[in-house]
Amino acid sequence: MQTKLAAFISGTPAGREAQEILGRCVHCGFCTATCPTYQLLGNELDGPRGRIYLIKSMLEGKACSKSTLLHLDRCLTCRSCETTCPSGVQYGRLLEIGRQVAEKAVPRSIGRRLSRRLLVWFLTGRLFSVLLGLGRSVRRLLPERAARYIPVRYAAGVRPTTRRSKQMIVLEGCVQPSLSPNINAAAARVLDRLGISLITASGAGCCGALALHLSFEDSARQAMRRNIDAWWPLLESGAEGIVMTASGCGGTVKEDGQLLADDPQYAEKARRISSLTWDLSEILVREPMTVSPAGRGVRVAVQTPCTLQHGQGISGSIEEILSRLGFQPVTVENPHLCCGSAGSYAILQSSIAKRLRQEKLDALQAGGPEVIATANIGCLAHLAAQSTVPVRHWIELVDSVMQLNDSN
């Protein structure tokens, strides 16, 4: 696709990147077949091909309208289109660039800009944990319809205190410690049994994904730099890598090198951080697992988050790990489609998100599972709010089986 960039972006790093991405698109339309919003809304402009044309038009200097911003906002950034694309179009990165341009061309109202800023601040700060705790304290008093939106808190249990010779860093995250502290604790226990200690870097925080999705790219990059500064001394001291238990965070950190490529102080460090970042499933799928009586025959529906299968190109590993432990993964129709969580999407585009969630739950529950397993805290919370089947992180299932084995 030939593009003649306007003067305002021509010659800039973002402009060069966008032009290279646009040059790969051949307008085939394969992407529309796997786009959740196109499938749901049926509008070409609510699919990747249509949005690419909107972005191309903006970058060429043509007028941008509120309608353009709306269609870009409706994108989940699930990146299912990237998995489907035969030309390797990096649509997700192009969308980030396009949203930056659209935000400047069609400024949102002060109220909307403030609400989006506050959303990032609230979800990544301490107030979220405080209010969640208050909500949980009165959960039993609320009507069921309201109570189901306050996640149940599973006890974290004890983390191993023994330091193994092999150590890896774990990102605690921003919302996950409050919503489900057992996830990282379970990961630490499982890896400890395999001779790996998980260590935490003080000073590390949000990966920057939420700010990035809301077009606050400067804030996102600052979060990335902060984490790099926190992780770097531990890596220099012998930590072998960074383990991600939330696929949304993992997908972002694996792209730190790309997003900080034009930062002379952090470019090289960011590339190394990205190369040393692993999703937890990438670690465990290489380890020997034995069938456990505790897991044998338990039917589980695996929801592979978009940030894992499309963002990181990892699929099937969770099913393989659970199968080795005796679980029975059930067939899930259209596993490539998004559940509708997508970071802040479930809040800012709630009507579309709810429809996508129901379609995903129908697919997950069709095979009669006893539990639904996922790999991202956002998906977990979003699905659990309406699921009639328990929704857990897959590492919690692995941990529970291993604990039962230890006690037998």
Report yes or no on 252 lying in a domain: no
Is residue 51, in this structure, part of any structural domain at all? yes
Last residue of a domain, one of 86, 105, 124: 105
Computed over every residue of the chain, the mean pLDDT equals 93
Which ranges constitute the DSSP H helices of 180-266? Answer: 182-193, 209-213, 217-236, 247-253, 256-259
User: 400: which residues sit within 8 A by CB, 6+ positions away?
Assistant: 294
Q: For the packed helices 126-137 and 110-124, what is the interaxial angle rounded to 10 degrees?
A: 70
Q: 371 pairs with which residues across the strands?
A: 300
Tokens of 305: 């988050």
pLDDT at 313 over 80: yes
Classify residue 362: in a domain, yes or no: yes
**Residue 355 is assigned to a structural domain of this protein:** yes
In a domain, 348, yes or no: yes
Q: Is residue 93 part of a domain?
A: yes
Q: Which domain holds residue 348?
A: 299-407
Type of residue numbered 381: A
CA nearest to 375, candidates 158, 189, 231, 187: 187
Count how many domains the chain has. Answer: 2
Question: In a 3-state reduction of DSSP, which class is residue 109?
Answer: coil
Q: Is the pLDDT of residue 179 over 80?
A: yes
The sheet carrying 371-374 orders its strands as: 328-329, 299-303, 371-374, 391-393
Half-sphere exposure of 181 (CA within 13 A, CB side): 12
Instruction: Report whether pLDDT(294) > 70.
Output: no
Distance of CA 33 to the CA centre of its chain: 22
Which amino acid, residue 62?
Answer: K
* Among candidate residues 136, 146, 40, 32, the one with its CA nearest the CA of residue 84: 32
Integer Cα distance of 358 and 383 in angstroms: 9
Give me the CATH number covering residue 82.
1.10.1060.10
**Mean pLDDT across 313-319:** 96
Q: Is it the case that residue 292 has pLDDT exceeding 80?
A: no
In a domain, 186, yes or no: no
Residue 365: is its pLDDT beyond 80? yes
| % residues pLDDT > 90 (the chain) | 83
Domain end residue (candidates: 38, 71, 105): 105
Q: Write down which residue in 105, 124, 154 finishes a domain.
A: 105
pLDDT of 388 > 90? The answer is yes
pLDDT(54) > 70: yes
pLDDT 10s digits, 242-274: 999 999 999 999 999 999 999 999 999 999 999
Please state whether beta strands 242-244 and 196-199 pair in parallel, antiparallel, or not at all (unpaired). unpaired
Flag the least confident range among 147-156, 263-272, 299-308. 147-156
Q: Is 177 a domain residue?
A: no
**pTM given for the model:** 0.93
